[in-house]
A and B are shown apart, each in its own frame.
Chain A
Amino acid sequence: MSIPPDDTDITTAGTSSAATRLLGTLAVVGVAWLVAFGLLFSPADRDQRESVRIMYVHVPSAWLAYLAFIVTAGASALYLFRAAHSLVWDRLAGASAEVGVVFMGITLLTGMLWGRLSWGVFWTWDARLTTTAFLFVTYVGYLAVRRLGGTHQQRARRSAAVALLGVLEIPLVHFSVRLWRNLHQESTVARPDGDVKMDGLMLFSLVVGLVAFTLLYVWLVIHRQRALVLEDAAEDHGLEQALSDRRAEAALPGGR
């Protein structure tokens, strides 16, 4: 175990490998392209005008956040229902949920900025918005459950069960909010999609955004789940270290 010199670039130590360095470079290039196309090259929309540019970061982050939570649910199920109970699945679930929470937070923030420009309000009780907010809070809770403590296997079992209960909860929330809005008032704002006619460059910008965010997601999840391996190992190691320190102390005549 060698201590890397201080001038080592932050991405070249710790959880990096050749593959993640390549992936990280591609992600940065993708983000640069997204900024160029989203802010400069793509035209303003006829209805939404300039505010459509927010969509190129808002929509991809929303899609990747949903994908991240689907990965979390899938990995939790694999952990729970496979006989091996491999922590690999648990760490993938945890890493994906954390990145998903970050992306969902971005989705909510950029969505509010867009809503203020297009609808004149930061928030509206639309079923999709509300469900998204609940997803965010639910997975913040999931991450808190992961930090409760106990052995790695206990953590994995508990959090997998919580993740699968989230799968039960979210459709119920979505359904109840939809029923509530439909029974009481028509949605007063235009749906954010549907009537948007996309020209070629706008569609291309959206695809660039999707590619950039997918690269970011994969890169972040790989690093995060390696960091979780390190956390688990450091915790185990710390316990062993403490035990051997105690024994060494006890073996010395008259203590230290």
Chain B
Amino acid sequence: MEDAGFIIGSYVVTFGVIGAYAVAMLTRARRLARRVADEDKPWT
């Protein structure tokens, strides 16, 4: 594939950014969840 660096790079950037965002968000949410009572979590 020509220009493979740019093309694969764009996929890496895309899912790397989304993955990093998701992990950061979920880690933070899990830490917060320990401090919050279960009745404040209507989804559980």
Contact = CB atoms under 8 A, between A and B. Distances in A.
Nearest to B30: A14
Interface size class of B (residues with CB under 8 A): 35 or more
Query: Which of A3, A14, A20 has the most CB atoms of chain B within a 10 A radius of its CB?
Result: A14
Interface in B1-44: 1-4, 6-11, 13-15, 17-18, 21-23, 25-38, 40-44
A123 to B, nearest CB: 15
B42 to A, nearest CB: 8
Question: For chain B, what secondary structure do more than half of its interface residues adopt (helix, strand, loop), or is it mixed?
Answer: helix
Question: For chain A, what secondary structure do more than half of its interface residues adopt (helix, strand, loop), or is it mixed?
Answer: helix
A180 to B, nearest CB: 29
Contacts of A29: none
A102 B41 contact: no
22 contacts: A1-B36, A3-B34, A10-B27, A14-B26, A14-B31, A38-B11, A49-B2, A50-B4, A102-B17, A105-B17, A109-B17, A110-B10, A113-B10, A114-B6, A116-B6, A220-B21, A223-B25, A229-B40, A229-B42, A233-B36, A233-B37, A237-B37
Interface of B: 1-4, 6-11, 13-15, 17-18, 21-23, 25-38, 40-44
